[in-house]
Structures are given as structure tokens and as C-alpha cells.
Amino acid sequence: MAAARYLDPAIVARLGTIDLQARTIVEGFLTGLHRSPYKGFSVEFAEYRQYLPGDDLATLDWKVFARSDKHFVKKYEEQTNLACHLLIDVSASMGYASGEVTKLHYASYLTGAIAYLMHRQRDSFGLIAFDDSISVLLPASARSGHLRTVLLALERLQLGVRTNLAKPLHDLAAAVRKRGMVVLVSDLLDDPASVIDGLKHFRYRGTDVIVFHILDPYELKFPFEQAARFRDIETEEEVMAVPGVVRDDYIRKMQDLIGYYRRELGLAGIDYCLLDTSQPLELGLMAYLMTRHRAI
């Protein structure tokens, strides 16, 4: 459990490269799983297979060998083949942070951790970063060096401008040929109907989708005190507001938006996970594993 403390986003943010961050997150998470009811999701035993030259000796089951004098290697769920596309929103609104960790940083940690997890499970994975267009596109691959490429790309992500989720989603949905899995990490501050429409496009093609809705705690609770001019990060639209006056209405609107996403995505068979940037990353990983389990 000691390692679980590293899943705190603020602590993870202080770690060096995203490679180390992703590994810390995943190792800490897996350590926690040994004592959790969910253990086995990621390293679940699948079958025995007769040893073939070239197999890693570490995978030999020495107990079976002792009993039967035959060489068998263990095969785990992680060794099943799954193509996963990691979609990360890099629009300007993702740069917002009320504390140390911006939404983009949080999304990067989460995406990196999922990529690391996939790498451990021998899944192929790709990375697509976008705002109103695709800025980074790394096709899915299970090659050993691919993880480093993805993590390096995550580390170098630059904030874009405005969010337009619908267009890149439709483009990607059309491009994905093989049944797989799509992980969308975004603050979803766009037209909800068009976002859901884009995600449904994946579902129509048989792709499992999980949406990580990343929000800052201030976006959820609007805890401002002083009257101020609130300027939209993307549109620069300004609104003079007295927080004490508008807070309840704002929270209600935000909850309505979240409820809308949760309801509509659920109806479309899309997993939805709301995360605020102060929450441990393990919640995201757990949601991912549950979706993966269903996808296999």
C-alpha cells in the first residue's frame, strides 16, 4: 500500500520523466491490486502451452515440470492481442490548473500509465493528440520501443487552441479498421451532442470506448470568493461574475452537463469515468481495466 501514495497526481507530477511517472503509477497500482478484489484483471492466468525454443525461460512452470517432466509455459490474459487508441485532448482548456497539476498533465499521466499497462500486457496501442485537429498521431503498435515513443510524445505535448472533438473523432472512427478499444481523455468542454455523436461512431464499428472526463476541482465546485472577470481560456469571452451569487447555478449546470454525458454515453454503451485532477490516478486505471476486460 505504501506505493499507492505515488498515485497522487501531485506527487507523480514531481517525478522526473513521464516514463518514470507511468511506471510508478502502474507498479503502485498493481501492488495495490494484490490485496484488492480486482486482482487478476491484468495478470490473469489464461492457459498452458508447450514450451517452444525461444520462449522466455522465466515463463516456464517449474512445478508442472516437476510433476510431469514436461516443459510448459504459462500464458496470461495480458498476452491476448488488443489494439488500443489513446485519444488525448490538448485544447487550451486542458491547460487549466487550480493547483499544481493541469488537466493536460493529469491526462498525460493517465494516458502514460495506461500505455505502460498495455505495454506490460503486450497490447498494441497508439496515441492521438488533438484539439480542433489532430496534432500527434502514433499508430497502434506492440513493438518494444513503442512505449518509449508514446511516452516521449506525451511528454512533449503542446497545448492547442480550441476544442473540436467531433471532427477528429469522426476521422479516427473512419480510420480504425480493426475492432479494438478507444480511450478518450478530455475535459469534454465542447458541444455535448457532437461529442457523443463522434463517440457513437466508434461504437457503430464495434470499438469499445472509454471516456475519461478530466475536470479541475475548481470547475466542479467553483470555490472562488472574489468578484472577478472570468475569461474563457479558449474563446477569451469575458463574464463579470460574483461567485457567491452564481456558484449554485454554475454547479447545477456543471452537474447537468456531467449527468448528460454519463446518461447518453451509457445509453451508447460507452464507459464514462469522471476524474478531477486531485483524485488518485488508480481510479482511472481501474476503469480502464474493467473496460478492457469486457473488450477481450
Partner 1 sequence: MSFLSPLFLIGLIAAAIPILLHLFHRKTEVVVDFPAVRLLTQVPVQQHRRRQLRELILLALRVAALILLALSFARPYFAATVAPAAAPLTVIAVDTSMSMSAPGQFDRARQAATRALHAAPTHHALALIGFAEAATILVQPTTDRSAIASALTALSPGTGGTRYRTALARVSEVLGTRDGHVAIVTDLQEIGWESNDDGGLPDGVSVDVSGVAPPPGNLAVTAAQRRGRSVSASIQNFGNSEVRTPVRLLAAGKQVARADVALAPLGAADVELTGALPSSGGAEVRVDDATGYQADNVHVVALEPARATTVGVVVADPTGATGGLYLERALAVADNGREFDVDVQDGRDVVKWTESDLAKVGAVFVLGTRTLDRPGRERLRNYLQRGGQVLLTLGPDLDPGTVSDVVGTPMSFADEPVRVPGATMIASDGRHPIFRPFLNPSGALGDVRVEQHRRLNDQTGRTVLARFAGGDAALTEQAVGAGRLMVFTSDLDNQWGRFPLNPSFVPFVVETARYLARSGTPSRQGRDRARAEESNPAAMTTEEFTNAIERTGRAGPQAPRTAARDIEDRQRWWQIGLVVMLVALAGEALVGRRVT
Q: What is the DSSP letter of 60?
A: B
Q: Residue 186 in contact with residue 211, Cβ under 8 Å?
A: yes
CA 172 vs CA 167, 177, 201, 284, 296: distances in Å:
9, 10, 9, 23, 21
Contact stretch for partner 1 (CB under 8 A) within 38-46, 69-77, 132-140, 218-226: 218-226
Which grid cell is 229?
472577470
List phi, psi (to 5°) of 55.
-65, 150
Q: Is 254 in the site for partner 1 (CB under 8 A)?
A: yes
Smallest gap from Cβ 246 to partner 1, in A, equals 5
Q: Is 277 in the site for partner 1 (CB under 8 A)?
A: no
**Candidate list 230, 262, 274, 283; residue touching partner 1; CB under 8 A:** 230
Q: Is 164 in the site for partner 1 (CB under 8 A)?
A: no
Nearer to partner 1, 42 or 164 (CB): 164
Q: What is the DSSP letter of 180?
A: -
Residue 121, C-beta contacts closer than 8 angstroms, at least 6 positions apart: 42, 77, 78, 79, 80, 82
* Interaction pattern, residues 80-109, with partner 1; x per rule: CB under 8 A: -------------x--x-------------
Q: Is 131 in the site for partner 1 (CB under 8 A)?
A: no
Q: Is 237 in the site for partner 1 (CB under 8 A)?
A: yes
Smallest gap from Cβ 198 to partner 1, in A, equals 19
Q: Is 242 in the site for partner 1 (CB under 8 A)?
A: yes
Smallest gap from Cβ 284 to partner 1, in A, equals 20
Smallest gap from Cβ 275 to partner 1, in A, equals 15
Q: Is 161 in the site for partner 1 (CB under 8 A)?
A: no
Q: Is 246 in the site for partner 1 (CB under 8 A)?
A: yes
**CA distance linking residue 252 with residue 59, whole number of Å:** 54
CA 44 vs CA 6, 33, 41, 259: distances in Å:
24, 12, 6, 34
Nearer to partner 1, 155 or 238 (CB): 238
Q: Residue 209 in contact with residue 271, Cβ under 8 Å?
A: yes
Contact stretch for partner 1 (CB under 8 A) within 104-112, 115-123, 230-238, 273-281: 230-238
Q: Which helix (H) or strand (E) holds 275?
A: strand 271-276
Smallest gap from Cβ 250 to partner 1, in A, equals 6
**Candidate list 19, 131, 234, 264; residue touching partner 1; CB under 8 A:** 234
**CA distance linking residue 22 with residue 120, whole number of Å:** 12
Which grid cell is 248?
449554485
Smallest gap from Cβ 130 to partner 1, in A, equals 17
Q: Is 239 in the site for partner 1 (CB under 8 A)?
A: yes
Across the beta sheet with 134-141, the strand order is 134-141, 124-130, 83-89, 181-186, 208-215, 271-276
Q: Is 44 in the site for partner 1 (CB under 8 A)?
A: no
* Interaction pattern, residues 170-209, with partner 1; x per rule: CB under 8 A: -----------------x-x--------------------
